[in-house]
Amino acid sequence: MFESIKSMFFGPSTDYQALIKNGAKVIDVRTPSEYASGHVKGSVNIPVHQLPSQINKIKKMNCPIILCCASGMRAASAKHALQAQGIEVHNAGSWHSLM
């Protein structure tokens, strides 16, 4: 049951390291204070509530986007918003999963 619930939020298993190696960018949607306490090297911090004002910046990255947060819930919300804008986006869940 957990796997089916997990797949609703995170989708099928993805090789995030391969995506990063091929140019994907990691966006951490946690708050600045959470991000400052630890984050994926090379990631960009755009808190989930700021995403709507950053859509053009994200589109200009012109690459797949990998989202992360503390647990994956905020990243799931952000994923839907970015997909609605036509951006290729993946939810990696917790930022720890990308370490």
Per-residue pLDDT tens over the stretch 6-15: 555 555 578 9
77-91: pLDDT as tens digits: 999 999 999 999 999
Residue 39 main-chain phi, psi, to 5 deg = -160, 170
CA 80 to chain centre: 11
The torsion of the CA quartet 21, 58, 36, 92, rounded to 10 degrees, works out to: -50
| pLDDT tens for each residue of the chain, 99 residues long | 444 445 555 555 789 999 999 999 999 999 999 999 999 999 999 999 999 999 999 999 999 999 999 999 999 999 999 999 999 999 999 999 998
Q: What are the structural domain ranges in the chain?
A: 15-98
Residue whose structure tokens are 């986007």: 65
Determine the Cα–Cα distance for residues 82 and 42; give it in Å rounded to an integer: 20
Determine the Cα–Cα distance for residues 91 and 2; give it in Å rounded to an integer: 17
**CATH C-level class of 15-98:** alpha beta
